[in-house]
């Protein structure tokens, strides 16, 4: 008889839970949780650096968002940051949450001019050159009217380009023949 009573109780148990409101079985806002289904709000998320999740309310767009790190905190993935930008900010290999630029770009820290480098992308100027054939490469400022990454002129050559002018043809000067007894020759007085 006792066995029959236990069986009857097991059969009636699912019927009893049907009359209990489903919200009574779920956790309220602020209670610890592990998954969304545990919460009345259907939202279980972190709310600080603490990895413990709590039942929280959803956004007005019915999204369940976890707390994200503000700028300046260490990160390993962009998804951990409010700015969605996780990069190095110095010679230190650690990465930190960093604000995006006005154009919403996530730019990593780059080496300043005169710092040692191995490729252009390491430099703030995007210009990594060796001053001489034997010297190690360094970040160089961009030069010229169009701000190109130009190698410096070697010590044996002049920085001022050679200038040519139209002169009377003479035996002592060599040049390219010009119109009616003239020739194009290099202006020696303009060399530096």
- The residue out of 84, 108, 132 marking a domain boundary is 108
Confirm whether 173 is domain-assigned.
no
Q: Is 74 helix (H, G, I), strand (E, B) or coil?
A: strand
Tokens of 122: 């390491």
Confirm whether 92 is domain-assigned.
yes
User: Rounded to 5, what percent of the chain is helix, strand, coil?
Assistant: 15, 20, 60
Instruction: Name, in order, each residue with C-beta under 8 angstroms of 101's C-beta and a sequence gap of 6 or more.
Output: 107
Q: Return the DSSP state at 173.
A: -
The domain of 136 spans: 110-144
Q: What is the pLDDT of residue 106?
A: 92
Q: Is 43 helix (H, G, I), strand (E, B) or coil?
A: coil
* pLDDT > 70 fraction of the chain, expressed in percent and rounded: 65
Q: What is the pLDDT of residues 4-22, one digit of tens each?
A: 555 555 555 555 545 445 5
Q: Is 13 helix (H, G, I), strand (E, B) or coil?
A: helix
Confirm whether 120 is domain-assigned.
yes
Across 127-140, average pLDDT: 88
Closest CA to 95 of 80, 115, 113: 80
């Amino acid at each position: 008889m006792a066995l029959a009573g236990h069986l009857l109780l097991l059969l009636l148990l699912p019927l009893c839970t049907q009359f209990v409101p489903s919200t009574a079985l779920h956790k309220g806002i602020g209670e610890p949780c592990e998954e969304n289904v545990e919460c009345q709000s259907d939202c279980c998320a972190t709310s600080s650096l603490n990895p413990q999740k709590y039942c929280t309310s959803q956004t007005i767009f019915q999204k369940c968002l976890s707390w994200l790190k503000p700028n300046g905190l260490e990160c390993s993935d962009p998804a951990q940051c409010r700015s969605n930008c996780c990069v190095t900010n110095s010679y230190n290999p650690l990465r930190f949450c960093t604000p995006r630029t006005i154009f919403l770009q996530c730019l990593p820290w780059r080496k300043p001019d005169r710092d040692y480098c191995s490729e252009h992308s390491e430099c703030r100027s995007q210009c990594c050159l060796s001053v001489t054939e034997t010297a190690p490469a360094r970040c160089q400022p961009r030069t010229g009217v169009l701000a190109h990454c130009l190698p410096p002129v070697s010590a044996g050559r002049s920085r001022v380009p050679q200038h040519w002018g139209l002169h009377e043809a003479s035996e002592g000067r060599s040049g390219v023949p010009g119109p009616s007894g003239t020739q194009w020759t290099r202006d020696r007085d303009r060399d530096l």
